[in-house]
Amino acid sequence: MIRDLELAFIKLHIFYHADKEEVFGIGLMEELARHGYEIGPGTLYPTLNKLEKGGFLICEARTVDHKQRKYYRITPAGMALLNQMKQKIEELYEEVVKGQ
């Protein structure tokens, strides 16, 4: 149960950061760890894959230091979803955190 909820928050973080800049697996894992989410490649990569398949992220593979790395950016559909969710986050915050 906690994992389901966390995964939703994790996806929102991914959308947010993929809007701000290009993101990639290891960078995201570090960023998410900073927020207290422990997520390994076994969960993160399938999640990124799913978001890409859904048309919310766009992926570009590039070679860095002889290693293939996949970079992700948000798509217009991802942006629309993020904006929709921002409203819901605000509502949730007002009610659940502030009790209004």
Binding site for Zn ion (CB under 5 A): 13
Beta carbon of residue 100, minimum distance to Zn ion (angstroms, whole number): 25
- Which is closer to Zn ion, CB of 13 or CB of 70? 13
Radius of gyration (C-alpha) of the chain in whole angstroms = 14
Please report how close the Cβ of residue 71 comes to Zn ion at its closest, in angstroms: 17
Cβ closer to Zn ion: 13 or 73? 13
CB of 43 to Zn ion, least distance (A): 16
What tokens appear for 62 in the block?
Answer: 């590039």
